[in-house]
A = this chain, B = another copy of it.
Amino acid sequence: MSKPDSPYAITLADVTAAADRIASHVWRTPAINSDALQELTGRTVVLKCESMQRTGSFKIRGATNAVRSILEADAPRGVVTHSSGNHALALATAAAERSMPAHVVMPENASPSKRAAVVRAGAHVVTCGNSGAEREAMAAEVQARTGATMVPPFDHPWVMAGQGTIALEILEQIPNAGTLVIPVGGGGMLAGMAIAARALRPDIRIIGAEPELAGDAAESKRTGRRAPQRPPVTIADGLRTSLGELTFPVIRDLVDDIALVSEDEIIAAMRIIFTRAQLVIEPSAAVGVAAILAGRTGGNMNAPTVCVLCGGNVDLMHLPWSALPA
């Protein structure tokens, strides 16, 4: 893991090691040049489709890197995490593949379909209260009881390094990428990708994209101090968490800017991706697209803007717009 002389939790070497470790367990997702977004923005926009990733989100990268990093002696006691979303399914899947038990603490208000998917993937689900504090307390209790290794959703070197592998793939797929637009919740993906991309391409522009209603990353970057978690109100349910102790310093130092978008902009962008780019995405994945459409990501008009579509797990029976444009 991180070298003593590095100011951050991980280095490029951790990300490249993660890429080797997870290569045969995760998918190399397509990077699609979107003619529709080019028409709308005048820019070359490439969509990195982690929405098509195994388990439906990028989270399988960090989860697999964590599961595969655990020592043989610790493996039988399994892993534990708290998550109501994509990280839970990813960790359950990665653990099952190494035949390790997985304990997933999920709040009472988690969606029944997500809970069922986690159970189907073979995890033991433990129900807890809905607050972040209750979730963390229950996860700690399960860890103490089972001796399982804690794999938190973002603030861990293994997880950050795994998510960072997205940047390695992008730079192979689009060597002349000018700007990376990356949704930010807890910051595991943004920090991991920033470590790798900044090391390989010091000149690249790195923009986090965040809902206004969950704008703690923008605030943290502006004030230089990690802002607290906000009430979970944004539709982008994957981005409701605040930055972590390990992700914040990377984002503070290596990310150029955080672009904020409104809820209406997120929904409009999601609809455009469904109806013009013909891709299924979840609301969190629309946040970067919304920032690009709003002209808030900047950068050179002539170099491709690459937007990470972070996940595609969405309830298709309840899309957040009431009717399609005629």
Contact = CB atoms under 8 A, between A and B. Distances in A.
A312 interface: yes
Quick one: which of A56, A113, A274, A316 has the most chain B CB within 10 A? A316
A278 B312 CA distance: 6
Stoichiometry, as copies per complex, reads 2
Contacts of A278: 49, 51-52, 56, 279-281, 312
Contacts of A30: 30, 32-33
Nearest to A116: B326
B326 A317 contact: no
Interface in A96-116: 112-113, 116
A293 interface: no
A54 B54 CA distance: 28
Contacts of A315: 324
Nearest to A311: B278
Given A280-B274, A312-B278, A326 B56 contact: no
Nearest to A312: B278
Nearest to A323: B317
A275 interface: yes
Interface of A: prevailing SS: mixed
A317 B316 contact: no
Contacts of A33: 30
A274 B316 contact: yes
A315 B279 CA distance: 14
Size category of the A interface is: 20 to 34
Interface in A276-326: 277-281, 312, 315-317, 319, 322-326
Interface in A75-105: none
Contacts of A117: 326
Contacts of A275: 280, 316
Interface string A28-66: 001011111000000000000101101010000000000
Interface in A259-275: 274-275
Contacts of A54: 35
A325 to B, nearest CB: 8
Nearest to A113: B326
A317 B316 CA distance: 9
A326 B281 CA distance: 18
7 contacts: A35-B54, A52-B277, A52-B278, A274-B280, A275-B280, A275-B316, A278-B279
Given A112-B326, A316-B316, 9 more contacts: A34-B52, A35-B54, A49-B278, A113-B325, A275-B280, A278-B279, A278-B280, A278-B312, A315-B324
